[in-house]
Amino acid sequence: MKNLIIALLLALAPLAGASQQNQDEEIIRTTIVRRGDTAPDFSVTLTDGRTVSLSDLRGKVVLLNFWATWCGPCRQEMKNLPGLLARFRGQDFVLLPVSRGEKEATVVRFLKDNGYDFPAGLDPESAVYGKYATQYVPRNFLIDRTGRVVSVGVGYSPEEFAALVKTIEETLKK
């Protein structure tokens, strides 16, 4: 058990004690798709059984949100998603949360247990995630109507989420 704890601490060390500059560099290093890039197309099966492709959503503003049920910051951020959906209901906005590396049963149970009534994409092998990043969740990619990434975020804080909401508002006006 002691060796496991030491191994976990060593795995987390690059971010835990790093300066803000080092953290920013680590986030950049682990991000494949960056602001200004064309978002890579993909298809995912949703927890409601439908399949959606990013290319099917062209013409809409898409928030691609990678998350995991075991991730504390993801759980905090998820609490804001129903309000986000309500705020932009009726507009050309699509929330596409994609669970990274988890089985369908785990994701469905999490959504049900927490009262979330929106479907989530399933990426059990992290194939979709692997087109966008190499590490860390939550990750948000805001994609404009033309398929360009206008914002990339890693982690969760109330301030960053508020800034994301403002960027969604601005992107919808274009």
Q: What is the pLDDT of residue 79?
A: 96
Is the domain 37-173 a CATH 3.40.50.2300 member?
no
Per-residue DSSP letter, 57: G
Asked if 53 and 45 count as a contact pair (C-beta separation under 8 A), the reply is no
Q: What is the pLDDT of residue 44?
A: 97
Q: What is the pLDDT of residue 8?
A: 37
Q: What is the pLDDT of residue 30?
A: 74
Mean pLDDT, each 10-residue run in order, the chain (174 residues): 41 47 67 88 97 97 97 96 96 97 97 96 96 90 97 92 96 94
Q: For the chain, what are the domain ranges?
A: 37-173
Taking alpha carbons only, the member of 54, 50, 57 closest to residue 40 is 54
Tell me the two tokens of residue 139.
Answer: 């990750």
Q: What is the pLDDT of residue 131?
A: 95
Asked if 134 and 97 count as a contact pair (C-beta separation under 8 A), the reply is no
Query: Which three-class secondary structure state does DSSP give residue 93?
Result: strand
Q: How far apart are CA 172 and CA 46, in angstroms?
A: 24
Asked if 65 and 76 count as a contact pair (C-beta separation under 8 A), the reply is no
